[in-house]
Structure 1
């Protein structure tokens, strides 16, 4: 969803000795600039509150870190921002990062004659609503004076992304920065006559010009207008899947036009063939409540579980858990299980014995986003149990002020395991006694993996709770300033909401010291 344009992994480095404390009073280790920025970016849903850090403070820290990295490590920062949007699939953090990168470089007098500033802006804009989103962010913070590299980068993205279907989907009145506003401010060169016609149409309707002309090249826009006119007379025309598709009609618009005049099951069944992967994933509950037939549901389930579709959708693993919890019926469960497993497919097989500790303290009962459907401890459980299923031998422990051992059942589905984790009372909601948990359950395992926000309590030093010859991997799910271990031999911290970091376990144990996934 839009963050600004609306009307109302890897290994990181810390200091060797504690130079502060965590929010819970435990020994805290500062991170270097790149590491702090990386962990904050891959865990930060911009504008969202966390347990210990207000949204404004967190976003301000992100801007400061981007500005410092843009000046000190410009090429690293450019690679990072492109990976953040493309590899980590984090829209808002990459968008804000690109804007702040250019601003910091220009403020420091570092004008780039090669066009790199322009390119990094264009590269992070991958969806048609994002040019307006970036301009909305910039103007809300810094006013209407938009520097040329930002304008030109936005213009490049607009020329690449503005199509008839994208206009019908994203150019809505709920956004103060409409397509026409972006065109007025950045003046992109049209890719051809058809796009020139599209730009003219977008400008005409943005400025409320009477009867915006629909050029002959805009066949989808014309079909959309014709379908709307026909639906006003006879809503049954909305039950034609081919007309809906040809008109680029979104499911939101079709529902609005159909209203209560059409059977919901038939309307959904007409819309489903032209709906995208994410739209189907988000609407499983609506499909069930409308009474969509099992035959149609089977086609949806097949798409959800298709490996190519899962890869193309670039959905984070938590999305599948959220959909599973939201859907009333079980007819989606197998497809969502398959999709979740596919999204975690790169977690490698891990030999030997592994102690996996999942932080279920109160601070992990903190939402990733404002809707509150998934918490940080949900992500910890997803990744912890997925890793356990890949381990030759694994002991899984839920910890807070106390600990409980979660028995791993070989061959159990991941979603069923997550359900059992909750049903058996392994979400504790207590303090963060990390060091005590490690000491209580370490029995000579080959490695220790901790999934946590790193805000360890004052019950001891996490790093020294196991011998320094034993690899200790931390999967950070919050991105706070202080870490609970130093970055020394056999101590590593990963971050992010994808499975890529787990692939580093074997590489690091084998001696590969690669630091970044880009």
Structure 2
């Protein structure tokens, strides 16, 4: 089923006070979940968002909620929000094994067992000593199966002192060992006797416990640790991305840095790592002000890796005319998490430049107070994001997205696909009178007279309650999230499907 055949959504007012359209419960839940960072956003506090998620879960079919959790974990590579969905669904849905099946699918790392239980205590306001008493039976069954997924190394890697430990989880979940070897492993968890794993954290921690005669000797010791980690082949992809600057700071040899570059740009390693695109941008940004002879090679490796990560993107040929518009308004200047330097603004630019890389006939630009086209090389994705970032002040910080369509109308430019990367809170800052304000909806209707076959894609990066156009009619589509996987939804739309249909069709 396509959105075109649904009835019109309800007109509402967005956070900026402009006319907008309220999403249906399934679309709103999808949008909120795949953009969830569980931290305060520009327009919405974390506690408000959690309450909205609970309300939306109650309004949706439990099977859809479960499949959305699986989609978010397996397709969008998000970790925390699927655990939230599992716990919240377990609070209200009873009577079958839906929650246990969902839980088994979304728990893909050993520490997600303890993270889920920790959220369970918070969500249920458990403050007593035995916080995990009366654990949901379906959560318990799902976690019991999950315990059978991991080996000693995986358990030991994430066996940390926290509010809920692996030992706590083992006692409350009571998993059944599949064989004698696993029973021995469970006994080790109980006795806190897991073998210390070989990881970059443990190796650096051990090196940090040694007393050194000078800072120079300490630096040499840490350099040796990093080189041994690189040689071992056990330094994970994400750990490598996160520690490029540390390797340079400790003057790791050129030969070792060449190994790092080869690993980062290796096609199989890239695809297996399942990194969100902004991880590459974060790594790139950390190198921005470092002077080192290998910087160019490392940046080249990051660029190659990012391009490999979107090689699956379909639907663009020499005859497809595409317009990419990136929202750089004030509300987009919001970090995606408390510890991250990456903002919604960055993600919009990055996804836009990923898309431009795959297009042959493309106009790209940014809008704030004004709309401005910016010509960029298609083969320098990370550099393009920084260039856009440098030029952000050239268009101001309002949310006049309608200017993108107005420009196309004035030039009588016929596009096939128009794509806005935005938090969706668009309004007309140039017209004081609300009755005469320009709206995306009105401009789109006008543009469709020029380009009747054009499609408008709203890439929602924030997951608020409303969007500036009715996304269920007149060739307007909503796609939400921070991953390059959002382009798979776009491809599904081209084939007559949509995000909700794709999620609802997942096997569980």
TM category, shorter: 0.7 to 0.9
Structure 1 equivalent of residue 129 of structure 2: none
Quick check: 2:349–2:385 contact (8 Å CA) kept in 1? yes
Q: 2:135 aligns with which of 146, 152, 170?
A: 146
TM-score by length of 2: 0.85
Q: Paired residue for 1:399?
A: 367
**Stretch deviating more after TM superposition (276-285 or 445-454):** 445-454
Q: Which residue of 2 aligns with 1:38?
A: 30
SS in 2 for 1:331: helix
Equivalent in 177, 189, 206 of residue 202 of structure 1? 189
SS of structure 2 residue aligned to 1:29: strand
TM-score by length of 1: 0.83
In 1, Cα distance between the equivalents of 2:113 and 2:78? Answer: 15
Distance of 1:31 and 1:14 partners within structure 2: 12
Alpha-carbon distance in 2 for matches of 1:165, 1:123: 21
1:490 aligned to which of 450, 463, 475? 475
Q: 1:382 to 1:197 in 2, by over 3 A?
A: same
1:83 is aligned to 2:71: yes
Contact 1:365 1:429 in 2 (8 A): no
**Number of residue pairs matched?**
458
Q: Matches of 1:14 and 1:422 in 2, distance apart? A: 39
SS of the aligned residue for 2:296 comes to: coil
**CA drift at 1:424:** 3.5
Change in CA separation of 1:506 and 1:319 when aligned onto 2, cut-off 3 Å: closer
Alignment of 1:72-111 (within 5 A): 73-106=61-94, 111=95
Q: 1:427–1:499: structure 2 CA closer, same or farther, 3 Å change rule?
A: farther
CA contact (8 A) 1:398 1:427 kept: no
Give 1:42-441 correspondences, 5 Å limit.
42-46=34-38, 48-69=39-60, 73-106=61-94, 111-112=95-96, 115-142=97-124, 143=126, 144=132, 145-161=134-150, 163-173=151-161, 175-205=162-192, 221=195, 224=196, 248-259=197-208, 261=212, 262=218, 263=220, 264-272=222-230, 273=232, 274-327=234-287, 328=290, 329-348=295-314, 349-350=316-317, 351-409=319-377, 411-425=378-392, 428=395, 430-441=397-408
Q: Is the 8 A contact 2:372 2:395 kept in 1?
A: no
The Cα shift of 1:505 comes to 4.6
Deviation at 1:267, TM superposition (A): 1.3
Spell out, residue by residue over 1:193-243, the C-alpha distance to the aligned partner (whole angstroms, 9 max, x if none): 2222222222123xxxxxx5xxxxx7xx2xx4xxxxxxxxxxxxxxxxxxx
Distance 1:193 1:386, change over 3 A: same
Matched residue SS, 1:332: helix
Are 1:474 and 2:458 counterparts? yes
Which sections of structure 1, spanning at least 5 residues, go unmatched? Answer: 1-9, 206-211, 213-217, 225-247
Shift of 1:93: 0.8
> Within 2, Cα distance between the matches of 1:252 and 1:345?
32
The SS at the match of 1:439 is helix
Paired position in structure 2 for 1:234 = none
Task: Name the Cα RMSD after superposition.
Answer: 2.3
In the alignment, the residues of structure 1 paired with residue 487 and residue 273 of structure 2 have an alpha-carbon distance, to the nearest angstrom, of: 21
Give 3-state SS (helix, strand or coil) of 1:418's partner. helix
Q: Give per-residue Cα distances to partners, 1:112-156, cap 9 Å, x unaligned.
A: 1xx332121122111000111111111122133212111121121
Supply the distance in 2 between the matched residues of 1:501 and 1:120 (Cα, whole angstroms).
22
CA contact (8 A) 1:88 1:496 kept: yes
- What are the ranges of 5 or more consecutive residues in structure 2 without an aligned counterpart? 127-131, 213-217, 429-436
1:461 equivalent in structure 2: 439
Of residues 456-465 and 482-491 in structure 1, the stretch that sits farther from structure 2 once superposed is: 456-465
Q: How far apart in 2 are the matches of 1:429 and 1:147? A: 51
